[in-house]
Amino acid sequence: MRHTVVGSAVGTTGPILGYAAVFLAAMAPDRRPVDCSLMTKVMIQPSYGKPETRRHWADTLDVPVSFDEPPYRDALTPDQRAELRSTHPTGSARFWGATAKHDKRVDTLHQGDVLLLTGQRHVRAIARVGHVVRNPAFARALWTPDPRDCLWSNVYSLLDYRATWIPYERIWDLPGFTTGDYFMGLRLLDNAKSTTILNGLNIDLLLRGAA
């Protein structure tokens, strides 16, 4: 602490008040702006609509995928394999993804952000984002899509995955959400709505109980 800053206070108001000023300055809260980019974001993604999407769910959400084995490892770059192993030391993880039109949204995701996977008017699963890769070949290896469908290019591994059955009404009742909103299309929530979801649905508590 620089004593020269409070020297005049000691001289003009007396030592006791001068030392009090030093103490109060040291105890003052940090008023630096909060970096909102580091706050936990919530992304809501429809994931159980078409029959093919349900097959994808069965392939990479119902069971973990051993990404360190063929054909998955062959589709990953060495750096991507190393990053996935760092996040998932067992060599297996659950995965989900998104098409290229969502690149900008996916680019903002960080490890620990929360994903709500929806279908049949319910949140069917929740998880934290693990590691994100942009790799169409890896997506093709995971989901073997119909060539007529739009190929996923963004792939995210999942941490603390938990199957749920949360009706949309639970979300509609929260501040800032609208009754009758069926969450059609991938949606990255702003910080205020993310916080509302995290608190209103007790997401941290649910994820602590994840298998």
Q: What confidence score (pLDDT) does residue 151 get?
A: 81
Q: What confidence score (pLDDT) does residue 125 get?
A: 98
Read off the pLDDT of each residue in 17-30 and give the average, rounded to a whole number.
Answer: 39
- Judged against a pLDDT cut of 90, whether residue 42 lies above it is answered with yes
Rounded alpha-carbon distances, angstroms, from residue 82 to 67, 91, 184, 202: 11, 10, 35, 33
Q: Which one-letter amino acid corresponds to residue 187?
A: R
Q: With CA atoms as reference, report the closest residue to 163 among 94, 68, 107, 108.
A: 94
Give the H/E segment covering residue 17: helix 15-27
Q: What confidence score (pLDDT) does residue 15 get?
A: 40
- Judged against a pLDDT cut of 80, whether residue 20 lies above it is answered with no
Per-residue pLDDT band at 52 (split at 50, 70, 90): confident
- Judged against a pLDDT cut of 50, whether residue 209 lies above it is answered with yes
Residues 69 and 159: their CA atoms lie apart, in Å, by 20
What is the pLDDT of the chain when averaged over all its residues? 85
The model's pTM = 0.81
Per-residue pLDDT band at 198 (split at 50, 70, 90): very high
Residues 131, 171, 51, CA angle at the centre, nearest 5°? 60
Q: What confidence score (pLDDT) does residue 18 get?
A: 44
Contacts of 171 (CB under 8 A, 6+ apart): 123, 177, 181, 197, 200, 201
Q: What percent of the chain has pLDDT over 90?
A: 73
Q: What confidence score (pLDDT) does residue 60 get?
A: 97
Which tops the pLDDT comparison, 104 or 211? 104
User: Which tokens is 116 given?
Assistant: 């709500």
Residues found in the chain: 211
CA 131 to chain CA centroid, nearest Å: 10
Q: What confidence score (pLDDT) does residue 155 get?
A: 98
Per-residue pLDDT tens over the stretch 108-159? 999 999 999 999 999 999 999 999 999 999 999 999 877 667 688 999 999 9
Q: What confidence score (pLDDT) does residue 38 get?
A: 67
- Judged against a pLDDT cut of 60, whether residue 8 lies above it is answered with no
Read off the pLDDT of each residue in 160-185 and give the average, rounded to a whole number.
Answer: 97
